[in-house]
Structure 1
């Protein structure tokens, strides 16, 4: 399911217009992104949590040439599903 499919499904499920649903989903994604950029955690009870983790600098190899390449430290967004969400998917 891509973003367009998600918008269509949510609009149908909630009986909203396509335009309002797109605006709401875009706003939700934007708010989550801004919160993570500030270093906040976004927790949705029953669904999961969005956090930012620090990834240390490391050495890797270019698979084509075998040459050693240094990868800089970075921050990566992470989603951890909540137990009710995991249970729903597994049952």
Structure 2
């Protein structure tokens, strides 16, 4: 999932991820479901006290997702099961 990879690599901010959810496809794996679920919890009304915890949860979900795919290997070459 390109959102997770972009976030994990520091190319996207947490708000970028939340704002781009409408462009994603349905989750196919448990890791994708978790990442999308955490990202969907973002709201412009999230309190400043809650934001660091949400960002940490999103980062953990992104790392879990990237580690579960061939793209997480760092080769930069999509694997057979990877989605964008």
TM-score normalised per structure 1: 0.30
TM-score normalised per structure 2: 0.32
Q: Which has the larger radius of gyration?
A: 1
Higher helix share: 2
Higher strand share: 1
